[in-house]
């Protein structure tokens, strides 16, 4: 199957043609925000870090920002540095430029103050816009599409209707040669036996199992009941009593498919089929992890209702809870509540998702995009030392 | 008629798909929404929350989706609400470590 997408110099294909303004440190956030606010197709990848970082934590932040710069949905990149931070602006620029020729660098301590930098950044991005407007979508095989599978603000409806529908979608995507990525390690706790059955090899299961055990150990070491956060107060209000119950509903996102690979946070999914990425359950951190893995679109199921989008990838929102589908109607792309309230089947839910996601891949705007939800953050793996 | 869904044959809880009051009856549906029986509930239960469809002894495993979702921390009778007050997680229990 062919889809119309944007061809990138590194061989990937984008479903959008955006400009990424990437600050290398929090000190450049305001300037990045002002630049992106003035340019219609630009997004600011603001985050609170870039300084006071060391070792693998620093490497992970650098690699995630590089992954955003080289993300197929971005057609041009402005790396925006202050100049004295640990994420070296020149290094990040070089790393991105090697894959994305339309990359520019602006370092405030070399160029000028906030006002001058904002003006220069806007100039650069407007020039990018002119170039990007000349690019057209081309026919690309569906095997170039990676879709992130995510759930958040879960309730009883997630495991009964929206996640099983997403599982049907995943089957169609994999049958057509596409890739699916999922994470949320904490929210796999209690679903190990299901995952063992899905794992294509013992190595895949062992990796996932070890990551779940590592998260569980954190709760044990802290002498706390995980139930303080997993499930969350909203999950509990929505009928989910334990992390096991939440996990068993969440794992339905992958349907009956085999998990062909298991990779760490920040790594790219390379095999057709379903890949597990070790991400936290936290929605924003999970979105970052699956976007770094290559997801050009993220499908996000929710029962409680969550509006969050993501900077690099259109987030497509699905609910099967009729109550929230009414209250937060503008925040959903797809209402599957008829699976619970009426005659809609899980299979029909999956078919609706499939049709709509193909349209999103070819340019249909998601509600999160339309409402301006383009959230971003980095994910830290060590405490601040300085 | 109020509805409660049993997701696997071996489950000992069902999920209410409608709000229900103590003493009211619900029809039990399987995952394909076919009727498999009826139950009278002993508590007010909100939609999305669970009721026991068998008597469950304290310490017994509680099953949904045909999988263990935790253990009963009290004896639970058929028709009672099953939630955080009588169902505890068996995972991530640093408080018991």
pLDDT digits (tens, 9 = 90+) for A207-217: 999 999 999 99
pLDDT digits (tens, 9 = 90+) for A287-345: 999 999 999 999 999 999 999 999 999 999 999 999 999 999 999 999 999 999 999 99
Higher pLDDT, A218 or A175: A175
Contacting B residues, span 38-97, partner chain A, CB-CB under 8 Å: 46-50, 64-65, 67-70, 82-84, 87-97
ipTM above 0.95, yes or no: yes
Residue B74: CATH number of its domain: 2.30.130.110
Of the pLDDT bands very low, low, confident and very high (cuts 50, 70, 90), residue A383 is confident
Three-class DSSP category at A22:
strand
Please count the structural domains in chain B.
1
Which residue, A259, A255, A4, A294, is CA-closest to A146? A294
Which residue, A276, A309, A379, A384, is CA-closest to A67? A379
Which residue, A62, A101, A83, A73, is CA-closest to A6? A73
Q: Using CA atoms, how far apart are residues A80 and A24, in angstroms rounded to an integer?
A: 6
**What phi, psi does A78 have (nearest 5°)?**
-115, 115
| DSSP designation for B96 | G
Looking at the predicted structure, is the pLDDT value of residue A385 above 80?
no
Q: Using CA atoms, how far apart are residues A245 and A224, in angstroms rounded to an integer?
A: 19
Q: Which domain holds residue B12?
A: 2-96
Which residue, A70, A68, A71, A90, is CA-closest to A81? A90
What pLDDT does residue B69 have? 98
How large is the average pLDDT for residues A378-384?
A: 86
Whether the CB of A322 is below 8 Å from some CB of chain B: the reply is no
How large is the average pLDDT for residues A65-80?
A: 98
Tell me which fold the domain A18-134 belongs to: Rossmann fold (3.40.50)
pLDDT digits (tens, 9 = 90+) for A145-187: 999 999 999 999 999 999 999 999 999 999 999 999 999 999 9
Whether the CB of A219 is below 8 Å from some CB of chain B: the reply is yes
Cα angle for residues A343, B20, B59 (degrees, 5° grid): 105
Interface test with A, best of B4, B92, B97 (most A CBs within 10 A): B92
Q: Using CA atoms, how far apart are residues B48 and B19, in angstroms rounded to an integer?
A: 8
Q: How far is CA A380 from the centre of its chain?
A: 16
Q: Note if the bond before A231 is cis, omega within 30 degrees.
A: yes
Which residue, A88, A75, A94, is CA-closest to A10? A75
**Structural domain spans, chain A:** 18-134, 141-370
| Residue found under tokens 């599982």 | A167
Looking at the predicted structure, is the pLDDT value of residue A386 above 70?
no
What pLDDT does residue A228 have? 79
Which residue, A383, A376, A379, is CA-closest to A52? A383
């Amino acid at each position: 199957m062919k889809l119309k997408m944007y061809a990138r110099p590194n061989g990937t294909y984008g479903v959008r043609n955006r400009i990424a303004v990437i600050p290398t440190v929090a000190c450049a956030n305001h300037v990045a925000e002002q630049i992106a606010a003035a340019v219609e197709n630009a997004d600011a990848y603001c985050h609170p870090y870039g300084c006071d970082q060391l070792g693998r934590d620093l490497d992970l932040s650098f690699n995630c920002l590089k992954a955003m710069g080289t993300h197929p949905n971005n057609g041009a990149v402005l790396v925006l540095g202050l100049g004295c931070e640990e994420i070296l602006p020149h290094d990040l620029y070089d790393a991105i430029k090697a894959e994305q020729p339309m990359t520019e660098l602006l370092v405030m301590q070399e160029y000028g103050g906030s006002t001058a930098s904002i003006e220069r950044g806007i100039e650069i991005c407007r020039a990018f816009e002119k170039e990007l407007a000349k690019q057209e979508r081309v026919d690309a095989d569906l095997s170039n599409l990676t879709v992130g599978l995510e759930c958040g603000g879960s309730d009883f409806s997630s495991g009964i209707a929206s996640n099983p529908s997403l599982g049907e979608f995943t089957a169609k995507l994999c049958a057509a040669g596409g890739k699916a990525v999922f994470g949320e390690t904490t929210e796999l706790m209690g679903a190990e036996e299901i995952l063992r059955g899905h794992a294509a090899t013992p190595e895949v299961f062992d990796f996932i199992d070890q990551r779940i055990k590592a998260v569980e150990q954190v709760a044990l070491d802290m002498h706390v009941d995980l139930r303080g956060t997993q499930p969350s107060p909203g999950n509990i209000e929505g009928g989910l009593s334990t992390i096991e119950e939440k996990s068993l509903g969440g794992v339905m996102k992958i349907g009956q498919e085999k998990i062909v690979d298991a990779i760490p946070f920040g790594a790219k999914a390379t095999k057709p089929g379903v890949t597990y990425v070790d991400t936290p359950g936290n929605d924003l951190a999970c979105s970052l992890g699956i976007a770094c893995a290559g997801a050009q679109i993220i499908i996000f199921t929710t029962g409680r209702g969550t509006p969050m989008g993501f900077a690099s990838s259109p987030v497509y929102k699905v609910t099967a809870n009729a109550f929230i589908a009414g209250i937060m109607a503008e925040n959903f792309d797809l209402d599957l509540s008829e699976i619970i309230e009426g005659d809609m089947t899980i299979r029909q839910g999956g078919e609706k998702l499939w049709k709509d996601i193909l349209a999103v891949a070819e340019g249909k705007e998601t509600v999160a995009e339309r409402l301006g939800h383009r959230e971003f953050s980095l994910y830290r793996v060590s405490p601040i030392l300085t | 008629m109020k509805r409660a869904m049993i997701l696997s044959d071996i489950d000992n809880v069902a999920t209410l798909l409608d709000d229900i009051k103590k003493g009211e009856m619900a029809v039990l549906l399987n995952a394909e929404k076919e009727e498999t029986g009826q139950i009278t509930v002993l508590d007010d239960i909100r939609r999305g929350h669970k009721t026991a469809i068998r008597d469950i002894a304290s310490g017994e495993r509680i099953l949904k989706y045909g999988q263990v979702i935790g253990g009963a921390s009290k004896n639970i009778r058929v028709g009672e609400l099953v939630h955080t007050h009588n169902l505890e997680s068996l995972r991530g229990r640093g408080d018991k470590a």
